[in-house]
Amino acid sequence: MNNPLLEVFNTPYQSIPFSTIQPEHFIPALKENIKNALESIDKVVRQTDAPTFENTIEALQDTGELLDRNSAILFNLNSAETSDAIQATTQQASPLLTQFQNNVRLNQALFDRIKTIYQNQDQENLSVEQKTLLDKEYKSFARNGALLNDDKKELLREIDTEKAQLSLNFGENILADTHAFELHITDEKDLEGLPDQIKEMAAEMAQSKNKIGWVFTLDYPSYLPLMTYAKNRELRKKMSLAFGRRSFQDNDHNNTAIILRLIKLRKKRAELLGYESHNAFVLEERMATSEENVINFLEDLYQKAYPAAEKEWKEMEDFATQNLGLNTLEKWDTAYVSEKLKQAQLELDEQLLKPYFPLEKVKAGVFDIANKLYGLRFVKNNALEGYHHEVEVYEVYNSEGAFYALLYTDFFPRPGKRNGAWMTSYRSQKKDQRPHISMVCNFSKPTASKPSLLTFQEVTTLFHEFGHALHGILANTTYGGLSGTNVFWDFVELPSQIMENWCYEKEALRLFAKHYKTDEPISMEFVDKLKKLACFQQGLQTLRQLGFGFLDLSYHCKEASAIKDIKTHENTILKRVQFTKDHPENCTSTAFSHIFQGGYSAGYYSYKWAEVMDADAFELFLEKGIFDPQTAKSFEENILSKGGTMHPMTLYKRFRGKAPDPKALLKRVGLVE
């Protein structure tokens, strides 16, 4: 078989020739890649020279490049452009890759060499980056079973293989249930309150399914507008309950058993390695350092946010009773009532903003902002392939005109693409190698009469993911294992969340917020209202995020094995952050992809943790000027380019001159004066 995955790609920048890659190429290639990588590692182990950083740690960095590339392609496709064949291939690949990782991490002879270097590192003249890499490699082995006896190593292998399989199944189940539901409307009266663009999108969706009328799905650009604007309460209820039932129904896609098994396996694995819980294991290598510190952090925010949230909820209830005839607010009412209240209080209808945020202008705007801050230039190259015809590929050049990265952008929902937004990479940065970065979102699609017009929330999402992308694009380290987003998990959201701040600044909005028909810039009156919008119902918003953080920790604490019923447990944890009554047929946990499919287990608090840093860091930009070249250069040199080469607090203090002040966040969202 002519298999393109077995060779270095003979393409510009070694970009991926997606059209030549078939699902059946992956498994043979991965098996060959694994064989070659293990042979390379064996050469490192069998050498007779005494262990040194260069002949062991650095040598390891150069093994498995094709394996890393090919597995990244497969798993990224499984998230953004999957199919039955890709899913089946991923199911086959997962145990192979887990076994490989275990074969490496549990290789006693290899660990002995690393341990010798680690214990005698003072004898080598290592740079700070080299010391960080050595520490990371040693801990990676130790925290993945290298210190265990043979029986326990074998048990660890079994646990890791099953965990990887369950996480894959978890995501596939959500995708299946998401796409199994649709709301088909044939009476136009049921669409009352919905913006014309949303109705047009729904009509085009119906046409694509050969149906008369309008079709709404559980994909965010379809689901959220209906929940926010539809006057028909029964339709909101139907959609809300369908969304909440994902992977919690009596079908083959139910995730409750997977969750129970995953949390037990994670705890068992942590105990095997000498930790009392998965939280303790994970948080040892985080800025927060311990479960106690995270709980104290979340509780402190809770105490500040709850009184504000309670007041905001009472305000919603009173408004709904007096103006909308709703005496009891249900979960399917909150987005609708919140939008009506926002329009009344702020005199801001976000639908009036959308014409000022056509996707193409917002995208050009964020590129322009990156140019002003970091000197980057983005040039679209239609000759480079994407994995779908909607994917665009950009060459990125630095301030000196040198090629610096490839950026793939993928903005619209479709079958085979999971909900949400994320940044990922196909190739990491290291010495003499520039990265290939991808940002994936699910935005409102263009229609026959209008381009893609973004909600303001979609604008901030684009800026958020672009911030992650910049972390990858501007990476400038020697070793790929420390590059870009390879940082402590509670530091990884700082570059993304700080970018959202530019969405609220007049000087930045002038660059891109222009009417799609007239090119008229957004009025300063609207900009002032956006500033107020940033503080609107922040008590409730904060409480919602804290709920996810508390729920995550509860599944991974030392008592996690005692959980017998997911729904009962979830209710116990979330009741202190919710004001609407529970519905027995709905469950948050069964679609909580961040912690059961992604990498956020024992780490969901990171969003709020990083928000503190981003609010504090952006105060310096506000003080010096949001496009101040010196401040931007410092942020690039100390944060974006450094990856995980030093402890994040060291990097943060180098930029800011001090530790982050939690009051900056509370002040920004209006929870304190």
Query: Does residue 125 belong to any structural domain of this protein?
Result: yes
Number of structural domains (the chain) is 3
Q: Which of 283, 306, 285, 305 is nearest to 294 (CA)?
A: 283
DSSP states along 555-623: HTSTTGGG---HHHHHHHHHTTT--SPP-TT--SGGG-HHHHTSS-TTTTTHHHHHHHHHHHHHHHHHH
- Residue at a domain's end among 507, 534, 561: 534
Q: What is the CATH number of the domain that holds 463?
A: 1.10.1370.40
pLDDT of residue 300: 94
Query: Does residue 410 belong to any structural domain of this protein?
Result: yes
190 and 104 within one domain: no
Residues ≥6 apart with Cβ < 8 Å to 475: 428, 429, 435, 483, 484, 640, 641, 643
72-93 residue pLDDT tens: 999 999 999 999 999 999 999 9
26 and 135 within one domain: yes
**Angle (CA) 334 336 341, round 5°:** 90
pLDDT of residue 43: 96
Query: How far apart (Å, rounded) are the C-alpha atoms in residues 645 and 474?
Result: 14
Q: 502 to each of 11, 346, 366, 621, how far by Cα in Å?
A: 36, 21, 9, 10
223 and 112 within one domain: no
Secondary structure (3-state) at 170: helix
Q: Which of 81, 137, 291, 465 is catalytic?
A: 465
406 and 364 within one domain: yes
Query: Does residue 41 belong to any structural domain of this protein?
Result: yes
517 and 378 within one domain: yes
- Residue at a domain's end among 502, 534, 566: 534
Query: Does residue 382 belong to any structural domain of this protein?
Result: yes
Q: 241 to each of 206, 244, 353, 414, 586, how far by Cα in Å?
A: 21, 5, 29, 22, 6
50 and 92 within one domain: yes
User: At CB < 8 A and 24+ separation, what contacts does 92-96 make?
Assistant: 92/27, 93/26, 93/27, 93/30, 94/161, 94/164, 94/165, 94/168, 95/161, 95/164, 95/165, 96/27, 96/30, 96/31, 96/34
Q: Which residues of the chain have pLDDT under 70?
A: 1, 673
137 and 219 within one domain: no
pLDDT of residue 514: 96
DSSP states along 31-45: HHHHHHHHHHHHHHH
Pairing of strands 403-410, 183-185: unpaired
527 and 390 within one domain: yes
387 and 446 within one domain: yes
359 and 494 within one domain: yes
- Residue at a domain's end among 534, 551, 578: 534
pLDDT of residue 416: 92
DSSP states along 471-525: HHHT---S-GGGSTT-S-TTTTTHHHHHHGGGGG-HHHHHHH-B-TTT-PBPPHH
Q: What is the CATH number of the domain that holds 110?
A: 1.20.1050.40
Query: Does residue 430 belong to any structural domain of this protein?
Result: yes
pLDDT of residue 282: 97
65 catalytic? Reply is no
Query: Does residue 336 belong to any structural domain of this protein?
Result: no
361 and 452 within one domain: yes
Residue 541: burial class (beta carbons within 10 Å; 0-12, 13-18, 19+): middle
126 and 224 within one domain: no
Residue 189: burial class (beta carbons within 10 Å; 0-12, 13-18, 19+): exposed
Query: Does residue 545 belong to any structural domain of this protein?
Result: no
- Residue keyed to tokens 């994902």: 246
pLDDT of residue 1: 66
Kindly state the tokens that stand for 321: 């009773």
pLDDT of residue 670: 84
Burial per residue of 19-37, b for 16 or more beta-carbon CB atoms within 10 angstroms, e otherwise: eebebebbbebbebbbebb
436 pairs with which residues across the strands?
Answer: 406, 427
Q: Which domain holds residue 230?
A: 181-244
pLDDT of residue 667: 87
Cα atoms in the 13 Å half-sphere on the side-chain side of 562: 6
Query: Does residue 238 belong to any structural domain of this protein?
Result: yes
DSSP states along 272-335: HTT-SSHHHHHHTTSSS-SHHHHHHHHHHHHHHHHHHHHHHHHHHHHHIIIII--SS--TTTHH
